[in-house]
Amino acid sequence: MKKLIKKISTLFLLILLNSLVIILIIDINSEIAVKDILLENFNSENNSYTIAIYKKNGVIDNLFSKDFSCYAESKEIFSNNFSNGKCVLTLPINENFEIYIKNGNKESKKVNPSNYISNILEFNFNDEIVYLTVGEKYKLDYSLKLVSPDDSFNFKSNNEEIATIKDGYIYANKSGKTTISYAITNKVLEVIVTDLISLPAYQKNYKTHLPCNRYSLDEANLLDKILEFKINKAGYKTRAGAVAAARFLTLEFPYRIPYFYENGRVHESGVNYADGEGRYYKKGLYLHDSKKSDIKASFSGPAIWGCPLTNWELNETYGYYPGVKRANGLDCSGFVSWVLYNAGFDPGDIGAGETEYPYQLTDLGNYTPLTTSLIYSDNLKVGDLLNYWGHIAIIVGIDDNYIYVAESLQNFGGVVTRQYKKSTINQTFTHVVLMDDYYKNDGNLKKMW
């Protein structure tokens, strides 16, 4: 009986040893398995991220401490060795890598980090709110940092009737509000689509004059926000910001702001001390009575743009008589001053610079004759001011044959953009004020809209 028990014990021990050998052989010959990959660090300044790779341990790994290595191949090789139970790699963002782990002399095993960690390291919309015109196509402005490149645009519109998304662009379909979201992030962009303005376009036929009290308080406030948005996107306190303001009032706003002789200016030495009468010394548009509370001093007003105001200048040709009411608006330097002020600049007396009458703003930059060679050179830019005695205007577009000038004059009935042939423009304007030193920064400048 004892012999039988001994034989059975010996047989059981042999079976156990054989099983262990088989397990060890299987473990030795098995492929390396990844237990987990974790994102350890993301350095947004250096545009790099760090991952830790944890290998799934087999029987031998549990019996004996055994290191392994990992490396990543792209244009260069990034490698690191096992320590403290993990293998660490620090890699540049948004590059494709083939990542491998290796245990001793075993063949390398390719691993895919995207199976373990999110591809998105950082995402932010660069705007909180976007204001668009019906029919407008707007490129989404965002910052996105990925583990590996991703050409797909995982944006979604909450209401596609108002705005749709395609290839990284928002297409504004009809007036209303919607939100745009991206992939798995919780960030959203508010989109407001409006028909209060139109897409910028040059019109040979002047727009109708702005009616008195045309806009409600909500509409006036929205137009102010749209104007501010467009200036900021072009570049606040830049040349492009000033051009954006001028284009807004002449090419996008649906009405013509009337011409109105100034009744005075906000200046300590001025005889007439007035605000918003031929000039408007505030940010935004002068479209609602609520703006009257901001008026510093009045001479014959206050009256918002388009509403009756007593005129004190005589110009019989265009129907200006002292004591007769005309629709309030902007004179030529009042318009250009409004443009500069809304773009973040202060043209001296909040109206016309430091020169004596006629306060033409010609002292703001390099005042030089408008020669043919200058007209056809790259030195003449949108945002520069054009002048002849008694008048000032601002360039808002330049193409191969024409210069587009935003200006306010009695014979135009207010603020408009006019098209001048390059070959003959210096028959109208005698000088240009080159504004590089004034603006200092071009911003997101475009020759045409």
**Do 88 and 65 reside in the same domain of the chain?**
yes
| CATH number of the domain that residue 75 is part of | 2.60.40
Tell me the pTM: 0.84
**Do 37 and 99 reside in the same domain of the chain?**
yes
Bond preceding residue 369 cis, omega within 30 of 0? no
User: Which of 57-71, 191-205, 276-290 bottoms out in mean pLDDT, i.e. has the lowest?
Assistant: 57-71
- pLDDT tens profile 401-441: 999 999 999 999 999 999 999 999 999 999 999 999 999 99
Q: Which segment, 57-61, 62-66, 253-257, is predicted with the most confidence on average?
A: 253-257
Which residues, 6+ apart, have CB-to-CB distance to 312 below 8 Å?
A: 261, 263, 300, 322, 323
**Do 76 and 139 reside in the same domain of the chain?**
no
**Between the CA of residue 182 and those of 125, 141, 227, 246, what are the distances in Å?**
9, 12, 27, 34
Q: Does pLDDT of 297 surpass 70? A: yes
**Do 256 and 381 reside in the same domain of the chain?**
yes
Distance CA 366, CA 353 (A): 14
Which residues, 6+ apart, have CB-to-CB distance to 295 below 8 Å?
A: 275, 276, 301, 302
DSSP annotation of 93: T
Q: State which of 160, 194, 228 marks the end of a domain.
A: 194
**Do 407 and 267 reside in the same domain of the chain?**
yes
Q: Does pLDDT of 377 surpass 70? A: yes
- pLDDT tens profile 314-348: 999 999 999 999 999 999 999 999 999 999 998 87
Structural domain range at position 152: 120-194
User: Which of 18-32, 60-74, 136-150, 306-320 bottoms out in mean pLDDT, i.e. has the lowest?
Assistant: 18-32
- pLDDT tens profile 220-235: 999 999 999 999 999 9
Q: State which of 53, 83, 115 marks the end of a domain.
A: 115
Q: Of residues 414 and 266, which shows the higher confidence score?
A: 414
Q: What share of the chain is helix, strand, coil (3-state, %, to 5)?
A: 25, 30, 45
Q: How many independent structural domains does the chain possess?
A: 3
Q: Does pLDDT of 268 surpass 70? A: no
| CATH number of the domain that residue 169 is part of | 2.60.40.1080
Q: Does pLDDT of 151 surpass 50? A: yes
**Do 126 and 105 reside in the same domain of the chain?**
no
Average pLDDT, the chain: 87
**Do 222 and 296 reside in the same domain of the chain?**
yes
Distance CA 251, CA 81 (A): 63
Which residues, 6+ apart, have CB-to-CB distance to 290 below 8 Å?
A: 217, 220
**Do 184 and 320 reside in the same domain of the chain?**
no
Is residue 285 in a domain? yes
Strands 129-133 and 188-194: parallel
**Do 72 and 149 reside in the same domain of the chain?**
no
Distance CA 248, CA 390 (A): 24
Is residue 9 in a domain? no
**Do 245 and 394 reside in the same domain of the chain?**
yes
Element (H, E) at 409: strand 402-409
Question: What is the amino acid identity at position 355?
Answer: T
- pLDDT recorded at residue 86: 81
**Do 185 and 228 reside in the same domain of the chain?**
no
**What is the mean predicted confidence (pLDDT) over 349-355?**
52
- pLDDT tens profile 74-88: 867 776 666 666 888
Q: State which of 57, 92, 115 marks the end of a domain.
A: 115
Distance CA 306, CA 263 (A): 16
**Do 62 and 150 reside in the same domain of the chain?**
no
13: left (phi over 0), alpha (psi -120 to 50) or beta: alpha
Is residue 204 in a domain? no
Q: Of residues 428 and 29, which shows the higher confidence score?
A: 428
